[in-house]
Amino acid sequence: DAGVIQSPRHEVTEMGQEVTLRCKPISGHNSLFWYRQTMMRGLELLIYFNNNVPIDDSGMPEDRFSAKMPNASFSTLKIQPSEPRDSAVYFCASSLPKTSGRYGATDTQYFGPGTRLTVL
Amino acid sequence: AQSVTQLDSQVPVFEEAPVELRCNYSSSVSVYLFWYVQYPNQGLQLLLKYLSGSTLVESINGFEAEFNKSQTSFHLRKPSVHISDTAEYFCAVSDQGNTPLVFGKGTRLSVIA
């Protein structure tokens, strides 16, 4: 299996521009997570999908951020308009159908390589 | 709310020496505990996890962690490190799957030849 695929790997944009990050989870995984990693705040959960439905979006910073999962094999995270403080590494992770609890935490999460976003 | 504290942000150690990476968590309920490893320019990978049963859990590459409920700790240890163990290590906790994983800030392990 190719693992979780994210694109682009690096994105440099100017403040005010729209940014779209893409994720292809591992086939057969029905849970998908978007995380943001910064030096100051560490790794934070932005949004969690199960069976393509957003279950928890409490970590989405503000209305400038939106995420979609139109089908089991694709998800996007969009920032519009982008700001310099959005600069971070964004990770997508997927896991098998949950076997315990609301978040299926017993199931290993498989992370993609991340997208390094720089907003100038 | 749950939180995870990794007491050391950086740990340098010589090759073949033992290492302990410390992790403490705060939670009022029973938890699941995890250690993830992140190699340079890669995503996180699960190293080991504690769900229930034996408080000592092991990974396939020689790491082990012990769940200590009274001290709310889940320290990671390896008796002899290799250069290839150089990476960032993250401890994470979940309220038995009813809350999302909460990660610590990470500990950067640098193995020196």
Closest residue to A108, CB basis, from B43, B46, B94: B46
CA distance A110 to chain B (A): 7
CB A104 within 8 A of CB A31: yes
Contact A56 B46 (CB under 8 A): no
Question: What was the pLDDT predicted at B54?
Answer: 87
Could you tell me which residue, A99 or B111, shows the higher pLDDT? B111
Q: How confident is the model over B2-49, as pLDDT tens digits?
A: 889 999 999 999 999 999 999 999 976 788 899 999 998 888 999 999
Q: Per DSSP, what are the bridge partners of residue B25?
A: B4
CA closest to A103 among chain B residues? B97
**Residue B52 contacts A where some CB pair is shorter than 8 Å:** no
Per-residue confidence at A106, pLDDT binned at 50, 70, 90? low
Please name the residue that has the structure tokens 């076997």.
A99
For range A57-64, the mean pLDDT: 90
DSSP states along B46-90: EEEEE-SS-SEEE-TTS-EEEEETTTTEEEEEESS--GGG-EEEE
Q: Taking CB atoms and an 8 Å cutoff, what residues of chain A touch B98?
A: 101-103
Contacts 24+ apart (CB under 8 A), A35-41: A35/A90, A35/A91, A35/A92, A35/A93, A35/A111, A36/A88, A36/A89, A36/A90, A36/A91, A37/A88, A37/A89, A37/A90, A37/A91, A37/A114, A38/A87, A38/A88, A38/A89
Contact A111 B98 (CB under 8 A): no
Nearest-angstrom CA–CA distance, A80 and A63: 9
Question: What was the pLDDT predicted at A78?
Answer: 97
Q: Which residues contact B110 (CB under 8 A, 6 or more apart)?
A: B10, B11, B12, B13, B86
**Residue B98 contacts A where some CB pair is shorter than 8 Å:** yes
Q: How confident is the model over B19-32, as pLDDT tens digits?
A: 999 999 997 678 88
CA distance B76 to chain A (A): 18
For range A43-72, the mean pLDDT: 93
CA distance B14 to chain A (A): 26
Closest residue to B43, CB basis, from A101, A102, A111: A111
Question: What was the pLDDT predicted at B36?
Answer: 95
Per-residue confidence at A103, pLDDT binned at 50, 70, 90? low
Assess whether pLDDT exceeds 80 at residue B78: yes
Structure tokens at A66: 């939106």
- The residue among B99, B107, B108 with the most chain A CBs within 10 A of its CB, best to mutate, is B99
Question: What was the pLDDT predicted at A71?
Answer: 93
Q: Taking CB atoms and an 8 Å cutoff, what residues of chain B touch A104?
A: 97
Mean pLDDT (chain B) is 92
Question: What was the pLDDT predicted at B85?
Answer: 96
Question: What was the pLDDT predicted at A52?
Answer: 92
